Amino acid sequence: MFKKTFKNICLLAFLLTASHSIAAEFKANGIVDVRLSSNDSNKSYLSGGYGKFSSNSSATLAIPQLAGEFKVLWDNGLSANLVVNSYVENDQSDLGMTEAYLKYKSIPSSSGYRWENRSGIFYPKISLENEAFGWASINTLNSSTLNTWVGEETKLLGTQAKITRLGRQNGNDFDLSLSASIFANNDPSGALLSWHGWTMSNRQTIWQKSRPFPRMPASKAGGMLQAQAKRSNAFLEIDNRLGYQLQFDWHQHKKGKFNIGYYDNRAKPYIVKNGQYGWGTKFVYAGAHWRFNKELQLTTQILNGSTLMQSPDQQDVVNNDYQSAFVSLTKRRKKHSYTIRLEEFSVTDNDSTAGDNNTEYGKAGTFNYTYRYSKPWFLSFEYNWIKSNRPSRAYQNQATDLTEQQYQLAARYFF
Amino acid sequence: MKAGLSRLSLLLLLVLQSSLSNALTVTVLDNKGKALSDIVVYAEPLDQQAISKTDKKLVISQAKKSFTPYISVAQKGNKLAFSNKDDITHHIYSANAKRKFAFLIRPGENIEQPSLETTNEIVMGCNVHDWMSGYLLVVDTPYFDKTASNGSSTLNIAGKGRYKIIAWHPQLNEKNNRIEQQINITDTQQVTLKLNKTMHKIPEQKSEDGFDFLSDY
């Protein structure tokens, strides 16, 4: 059903592009990110390990992001959007679509109200970091642990209605927006977060691509998780029940913005199809971005939620609460920008499943220096530090308490 | 010879008429007496004095992601065009009931619009860049201008008699964003319009983030 919907959306977009009766404009933008990175971590979570960075230890030269955003815009406010991401990095190279949607944006009414509709596959607008082309993070190379997870396990296949009240037409210096989405195909969301914990990279999961996770004793024959497939695909519809997401945005002109929202995939947690379970995942989130002056800006976000996965006889197998929060400060001065970001994250394991301890607590720090060589070229140095306690690392004979560090040099080109 | 005479008399008439036109200096001051620039000033005849029609074309540019100029003024019947000087596309619109329009304007593109047929106060925006805003006032008189940096403007008014002198700006904190005064034009004269209240802040048409590669439409 959802595949059909998607096909119909593509067909509609094609027909609209093909019709010459309405003036259309085609736009292609993107990013090329080339990095030299080195870390002292274990096997990366992308390869099914517990390492919190995207590359395995040792120095790596990689293209951790090559992304293109393609849009067709029409005079009537309709646009068709496709975002393609690719990665060339150790054993986890990938290529595919991360977002594809039609968007309608009305012309504001004389009283300043504007309607928007987005239909297709798209991110919930949670992140205040990943606002550049291809969902790249603006001020850092690696996203925060919070937004790394958003990029890994959340995407909505559905439709979103948004109403904005523009302040300009009302004599206010702020805009207010309310949006509501209903979506499908995000039922296994929460599995990877539970099994490898919070991670820190710029890697987004390509639509319909699965990821491996560390094997734990409970996944062996006879264990509670023996029916679970070896890889998790977050973008499946398991129970044919729609989820929803609500968000409120406040945008203070010239000063900053604030968002608060709620996500619930309404997955039935005891249904399993081809080794993929529904995970009842819900969370609240809030964020703020504030410009103190032209040079100094602060970004902060918090996300707090729960996920539940049960056996077919409705016994809790994984029942976790989780939270991640960060505060970052960026100072920009002419061609130089400096960012410091501090984070704290946790997963609380509330179930008693043997051989599957998902408990985690950690702190992270990031320092980024970026030199804007020319308008499109950004040269960056970034240091990431994560100190965490994760008992499940003992399943793979790794230290429960671990400090991981990463150094990166990057050249990012936006077009 | 006859033709020469009539030509001469025409020339004389023109010279006479121009010398007959009355230079009216309008000065706009804020409530503290400070000169205000870029305020629209115009004169509307009150005694059915004949006014001429002009065939001007007003061009409103989009430059550095802003409406340039922020405030425009034109006479009813004038032509209107938009010119995008930026290297990005804008989505210009007006939600005004009497004059609704919306179109994409590509880098370097010029778009002609239908003539301005009614007096109007047109508020323009860009649906891609919400901070952009521009205003166009369409008046029913050829006597209009914007005040210079000294707060003054000179209107060359052809006929004598009573006129309403109006100062308008979207951020004037006055009734209908304007202040007005009736005068009787007999000869060259001056009029000063002073605001009653402090003007509202003019919104800055500027992108908030210095970052050029934001993914948003």
At B6, is the pLDDT very low, low, confident or very high (cuts 50, 70, 90)?
A: low
> What is the per-residue pLDDT for A55?
84
Fill in the amino acid letter for A94.
D
Please check whether residue B93 touches A, CB under 8 A: yes
Nearest to B135 by CA among B59, B201, B69, B84: B69
- Tens-digit pLDDT string for chain A (415 aa): 445 555 555 555 555 555 444 578 899 999 999 999 999 999 999 999 999 999 877 778 899 999 999 999 998 899 999 999 999 877 778 999 999 999 999 999 989 999 999 999 999 999 999 999 999 999 999 999 999 999 999 999 999 999 999 998 888 899 999 999 999 999 999 999 999 999 999 999 999 999 999 999 998 888 889 889 999 999 999 999 999 999 999 999 989 999 999 999 999 999 999 999 999 999 999 999 999 998 999 999 999 999 999 999 999 999 999 999 999 999 999 999 999 999 999 999 999 999 999 999 999 999 999 999 999 999 999 999 999 999 999 999 999 999 999 999 999 999 9
> What is the per-residue pLDDT for A6?
52
**In A, which residues are within 8 Å of B124 by CB distance?**
none
Nearest-by-Cβ selection for B103 from A75, A109, A138:
A75
Cα within 13 Å of Cα(A241), Cβ side: 15
**Separation CA A20–CA A3 (nearest Å):** 28
**Separation CA B181–CA B13 (nearest Å):** 31
**In B, which residues are within 8 Å of A375 by CB distance?**
212
How are strands ordered across the β-sheet holding B161-168?
B144-146, B40-45, B161-168, B178-185
Q: Do residues B135 and B71 make contact, with C-beta atoms less than 8 angstroms apart?
A: yes
**Separation CA B62–CA A66 (nearest Å):** 32
**Separation CA B214–CA A266 (nearest Å):** 32
Domain that holds residue A27: 2-414
In tens, the pLDDT along B99-130 reads: 889 999 999 999 999 999 999 999 999 999 99
**Does the beta-carbon distance from A253 to B203 stay under 8 Å?**
yes
Grouping H, G, I as helix, E, B as strand and the rest as coil, residue A18 is helix
**Does the beta-carbon distance from B130 to A138 stay under 8 Å?**
no
Statement: residue B216 has pLDDT above 90: no
**Separation CA A237–CA A52 (nearest Å):** 28
b vs e for A202-232, b when ≥16 Cβ sit within 10 Å of the residue's Cβ? bbbbbbebbbbbbebbbbeeebbbeebbeeb
Burial-class residue B201 by CB neighbours within 10 Å (0-12, 13-18, 19+).
Answer: exposed
At B1, is the pLDDT very low, low, confident or very high (cuts 50, 70, 90)?
A: very low
Residues above pLDDT 70, as percent of chain B: 89
Q: Which of residues 177-216 of B touch A (CB under 8 A)?
A: 200, 203-204, 206, 208-216
Average pLDDT over residues B147-164: 93
Counted domains in chain A: 1
> What is the per-residue pLDDT for B160?
87
Mutation choice for A interface testing from B89, B92, B104, B215 by most A CBs within 10 A: B215
Nearest to A137 by CA among A330, A304, A290, A302: A330
**Does the beta-carbon distance from A168 to B130 stay under 8 Å?**
yes
B115 vs A54, B105, B112, CA distance in Å?
59, 18, 9
Tokens of A188: 């296994």
> What is the per-residue pLDDT for A21?
46
Interface of A with B (CB under 8 A): 23, 25, 27, 29, 31, 69, 71, 73-77, 79, 81, 83, 103, 105, 107-110, 114, 131-135, 138, 166, 168-169, 171, 173, 175, 253-254, 291, 294, 332, 375-376, 414
CATH number for the domain that contains residue A41: 2.40.160.10
Statement: residue B217 has pLDDT above 60: no
Q: Which of residues 33-92 of B touch A (CB under 8 A)?
A: 89, 91
Q: If you search the block for the tokens 């690392």, which residue do you land on?
A: A393
**Does the beta-carbon distance from A169 to B91 stay under 8 Å?**
no
Nearest CA in chain A to B204: A254
Burial-class residue B10 by CB neighbours within 10 Å (0-12, 13-18, 19+).
Answer: exposed
Interior angle at CA B133, CA B179 and CA B112, nearest 5: 100
What value does the CA radius of gyration of chain A take, rounded to a whole number of Å?
A: 21
CB neighbour list of residue A17: distance below 8 Å, 6 or more residues apart: A24, A72, A80
Tokens of A118: 């987005």
Query: What's the topology of domain B22-51+156-200?
Result: Immunoglobulin-like (2.60.40)
Who has greater pLDDT, A165 or B5?
Answer: A165
**In A, which residues are within 8 Å of B214 by CB distance?**
131-133
Q: If you search the block for the tokens 């274990």, which residue do you land on?
A: A42
Q: Do residues A282 and A305 make contact, with C-beta atoms less than 8 angstroms apart?
A: yes
**Does the beta-carbon distance from B213 to A414 stay under 8 Å?**
yes
DSSP E strand boundaries for chain B: 22-29, 40-45, 57-63, 66-68, 71-75, 79-84, 90-96, 99-105, 110-113, 120-126, 133-139, 144-146, 152-157, 161-168, 178-185, 189-194
Return the bridge partners of B40, or none: B146, B168
Nearest CA in chain B to A413: B213
In tens, the pLDDT along B59-95 reads: 999 999 999 999 999 999 999 999 999 999 999 999 8
Mutation choice for B interface testing from A110, A135, A174, A380 by most B CBs within 10 A: A110
Q: If you search the block for the tokens 């080794």, which residue do you land on?
A: A275
Same fold, B22-51+156-200 and B53-140: yes
Q: Do residues A78 and A104 make contact, with C-beta atoms less than 8 angstroms apart?
A: yes
Q: If you search the block for the tokens 């989505």, which residue do you land on?
A: B91
Who has greater pLDDT, B206 or A34?
Answer: A34
In tens, the pLDDT along B15-47 reads: 444 455 788 999 999 999 999 999 999 999 999
Nearest to B181 by CA among B34, B16, B73, B24: B24
Grouping H, G, I as helix, E, B as strand and the rest as coil, residue B21 is coil
Q: Do residues B130 and B168 make contact, with C-beta atoms less than 8 angstroms apart?
A: no
Nearest to B175 by CA among B202, B193, B144, B197: B197
Grouping H, G, I as helix, E, B as strand and the rest as coil, residue A391 is helix
Nearest CA in chain A to B126: A107
Tokens of A328: 């970052």
Nearest CA in chain B to A79: B217
Domain B53-140 - what CATH class? Answer: mainly beta
Nearest-by-Cβ selection for B104 from A25, A69, A253:
A25
Nearest CA in chain B to A137: B214
Tokens of B204: 């800055």
> What is the per-residue pLDDT for B21?
76
